[in-house]
Chain A
Amino acid sequence: MVKTLNLKTPVVESREQRLGTIVSWEGKASELVELSAYSGGCGGCTLCELSSPFTQGSVCSEQMVECQAGHVREAVLIQHSPIGCAAGQVAYNSLYRNGLKMRNKPVENIRVISTNLQERDMVFGGVDKLRQSIHDAWERYHPKAIFIGSSCATAIIGDDIDSVASEFTEELGIPVVPMHCEGFRSKHWSTGFDSTQHGILRQIVNRHPKKQEDLVNVINLWGSDVFTPMLAELNLRVNYVIDLATVDDLAQMSEAACTIGFCNTLSSYLATGLEQEFGVPQVKAPMPYGFQGTDAWLREIGKVTHREELVEKYITKKRAEVKPKLVELRKKLKGLRGLSATGSAYSHGLISVLRELGIESDGSLVFHHDPVYDSGDPRQDSLAQLVHQYGDVQSFNVSNRQQFQFYILLKNIKPDFIIIRHNGLAPLASRMGIPAVPLGDEHLAVGYDGMLHVGEIILDVIAHTKFHKNLAAHVKLPYSKWWLEQNDPYILSKNPELIYQD
């Protein structure tokens, strides 16, 4: 295997540098497939990206470190930053507690410490405070690993978190893992996922593994435990990583038979790194959404773990079980139009599910687009699979959670509902009379049962459409008359001078 990831340096390469990631684009999904690297790209350059003179708030790479490294059990995350970066701790604590509860684990609070840097630390350097925080973390929790996340402030002044981490790795005898996740390093926050995974691959994964031939790494967030029963039918055990995993779970990733995920955006770096550095095969297949995706995904797992017969049995059983229920659901969902607005690869999967349910889904919003994933294997080209198996998506929009663009998209497409995973999108839709299907539990849509779960939730949600219509009738959107009348979400990108008009 050609080494694509450079694990020698503590600093992860950003997504745009590795994969050519973009955050703004509009067109048909089929056009984006053609332009992406799996199809040769547009002459070796990065994708033709729209550039806007205006952007609304989004998310930071550092928050992705909080949501991954900050959710490792028996570990501590130190945010080497001014206190503002710690604002996300509240939300991530709630996700962590809920996740633990859903998985029947003891509920506890996150262990995240901020070094709370101030003016004098910016001037004189913050590493002494970092050392103090590491000592405090050790005294309070005796963790099995300590993660250190950088911030914009510490990256600009050049605080040497790598040396401090090395020093304490030796002193404490546990991995102390520096993660370079300052927000300005990448235009897309998913670099934060990669930063955490890079640190774990370098310092936590066991370098002398004893193989466990029935163990499967499942790269996930906090979703409910749908993988255990599914893989149990194949005599396989689940090793959930990174969120809610223990440090030992992370260490044993090198012992597994293979690695799978529910979303290529999230799992690309870690799965590729495990294969490259530890020889743990990454299951290179379509993602497990809809019949065809799930079939192909299971068959590849069967092939890699030598369980082909069990897989075929399971596929036959589940197809027979799910199909009649799906027929019933399709009748109830007939005529509905839905719009998915989620992270990139996950959205490709969700649109497949919507189409299996017979729901018209001709518009979509993804937060970014990776023209290729780290493995470079075309079997993971999830956008092409969507287009080839389920047909084109006419209005395919790459927009990094930009509400002002989302408004026009909703106005143009007029879906009966939106399906989302991230906060901030539902209130806008609601104020336009459109209900939101919130998939906080990202595993709900996975596999054969996933189609049924999603169909049922949609029925529940559209049952209270009237509430949203009422809301829309009584609220005003915050945009100017001029913007409310626009029909092109990307007009500012195409005509940046408009932003300076009165």
Chain B
Amino acid sequence: MSKQIKKIAIYGKGGIGKSTTTSNISAALVEAGYKVLQFGCDPKSDSTNTLRNGKYIPTVLDLLRKKSKVDAHEAIFEGFKGVYCVEAGGPAPGVGCAGRGIITAVELLKQQNIFEELDLDFVIFDVLGDVVCGGFAVPIREGIAEHVFTVSSSDFMSIYASNNLMKGIEKYSNSGGALFGGIIANSINTSYQKAIIDDFVKKTSTQVVEYVPRSITVTQAELSGHTTIEAAPKSQQAEVYRNLARKIAKHTESRVPTPLETDQLREWSAQWADQLLAIEAGEVRGEKESI
């Protein structure tokens, strides 16, 4: 009987730092002695690059392209401290169906019992957060991931993406799908950025798991093809990621979020736009006096 595997999905708008954050969580977890598999679910196939010296790996769908009988083991590669790396892969931009690609790749690994066979503690799906079709929702369905986190900055487009994802989770939550663990607030360096995120999680009955500041250390590590944990293990930023990984490892209770309706979201962001203008003008008002 294999042990209980903790399955987590991390979503986020493209370019928000989702793969950076996910890879650092994976790195921190393997560093702490856990067995981890990171599964990149983005046709760009670069989720696990920084766990493998900046190198791309052949994807599950590359294998399928070559032959009709696929041995999923051939798509698993070891990276930093033995972390297992898998990329779903997908079609070139503008052709085929990337969502179906994710369905096919996830199913192939499930059918071949890969997660159980590797005796894992964690499987972390790193998924493109613009959940544009059913395929991108596969990791949050029944029997795949149990907990979902989103990476979001305080930018409104990123918050919209998180809100959309919550809608998906709310939909699947009735039928045994994943529940929402919280938001990993990325690039949070000022108090107003923190205030925006805090306000959003309050409105949607969820929580912030960790505030991750924007840091040049991360950029330097990425450019050298490594995670911050590997490239700058003693840095303050590495400690932020370790804290985040510890919180995720301990996390047990996820919830059904209460996403905002489109009109509510528009209204909410308009209020914040007013406040930001006021901040820029040096005006200090009401409850946001502390900003």
Contact = CB atoms under 8 A, between A and B. Distances in A.
Interface of A: 6, 8-9, 11, 13, 16-17, 20, 46, 125, 155-160, 162-164, 166-167, 187
A17 B71 CA distance: 9
B2 to A, nearest CB: 11
Given A16-B69, A46-B69, A163-B172, A9 B141 contact: no
B247 to A, nearest CB: 29
Nearest to B99: A158
A19 to B, nearest CB: 9
Q: What are the 8 A-B residue pairs with the smallest beta carbon separation, nearest first?
A: A158-B134, A163-B175, A158-B135, A16-B68, A9-B110, A13-B111, A167-B175, A46-B69
B103 interface: yes
Contacts of B257: none
Contacts of A156: 97, 99-100
Contacts of B103: 155, 158
Nearest to B142: A163
A164 B175 contact: yes
A187 B172 contact: no
B111 A162 contact: no
B90 to A, nearest CB: 14
B134 to A, nearest CB: 2
B107 A11 contact: yes
Given A155-B100, A163-B142, A166-B142, 8 more contacts: A6-B110, A9-B107, A9-B110, A17-B69, A46-B67, A46-B69, A158-B103, A163-B141
B75 to A, nearest CB: 14
A125 B133 CA distance: 9
Contacts of B172: 160, 163
B233 interface: no
27 contacts: A6-B111, A6-B112, A8-B110, A9-B111, A9-B143, A11-B107, A11-B110, A11-B111, A16-B69, A17-B68, A17-B111, A156-B97, A157-B133, A157-B134, A158-B133, A158-B134, A158-B138, A160-B134, A160-B137, A160-B172, A163-B141, A163-B142, A163-B172, A163-B177, A167-B174, A167-B175, A187-B68
A129 to B, nearest CB: 14
A20 B71 CA distance: 12
Interface string B65-98: 0011110000000000000000000000000010
A20 B111 contact: no
A16 B70 CA distance: 9
Contacts of B142: 162-163, 166
Given A13-B111, A163-B142, A187-B68, A125 B177 contact: no
Nearest to B177: A163
Contacts of B97: 156
Contacts of A17: 68-70, 111
Contacts of B174: 167
Interface in B121-145: 133-138, 141-143
Interface residues of B, number: 27
Contacts of A11: 107, 110-111
Contact of A20 (B69, B107, B176): B69
Greatest chain A CB density within 10 A among B69, B112, B172 is at: B69
Contacts of A166: 142, 175-176
Nearest to A3: B113
Contacts of B107: 9, 11
Contacts of A157: 99, 133-134
Contacts of B175: 160, 163-164, 166-167
Given A6-B113, A9-B107, A163-B176, A158 B100 contact: yes
B260 to A, nearest CB: 20
Contacts of B177: 163
Contacts of B137: 158, 160
Interface string B98-118: 011001000100111100000
A205 to B, nearest CB: 20
A222 B142 CA distance: 36
Interface in B49-78: 67-70
A180 B77 CA distance: 29
A162 B141 CA distance: 9
A17 B70 CA distance: 7
A11 B112 CA distance: 12
Nearest to B107: A11
A222 to B, nearest CB: 31
Contacts of A8: 110, 113
Contacts of B176: 163, 166
B193 to A, nearest CB: 34
Nearest to B176: A166
Greatest chain A CB density within 10 A among B100, B113, B141, B174 is at: B100
A17 B112 CA distance: 10
Nearest to A160: B141
A9 B103 CA distance: 13
B228 to A, nearest CB: 34
Nearest to A152: B100
Contacts of B100: 155-156, 158
A9 B143 CA distance: 8
A46 B111 contact: no
A11 B134 CA distance: 16
A167 B136 CA distance: 21
A158 B113 CA distance: 22
B134 A159 contact: yes
A13 B142 CA distance: 19
Given A163-B176, A166-B176, A167-B175, A125 B68 contact: no
A125 B143 contact: no
Contacts of A125: 134
Interface string B158-178: 000000000000001011110
Contacts of A162: 141-143
B71 to A, nearest CB: 9
A50 to B, nearest CB: 14
A13 B135 CA distance: 18
Contacts of A164: 175
A13 to B, nearest CB: 5
A163 B133 CA distance: 16
B168 to A, nearest CB: 10
Contacts of A20: 69
A457 B136 CA distance: 56
Interface string B172-186: 101111000000000
Contacts of A160: 134, 137, 141, 172, 175
A9 to B, nearest CB: 5
A163 B177 CA distance: 8
Contacts of B138: 158
B99 A46 contact: no
Greatest chain B CB density within 10 A among A8, A155, A158, A164 is at: A158
A312 B237 CA distance: 80
Nearest to B140: A160
A9 B141 CA distance: 12
Nearest to B102: A158
Nearest to A164: B175
Contacts of A9: 107, 110-111, 143
Greatest chain B CB density within 10 A among A6, A157, A162, A163 is at: A163
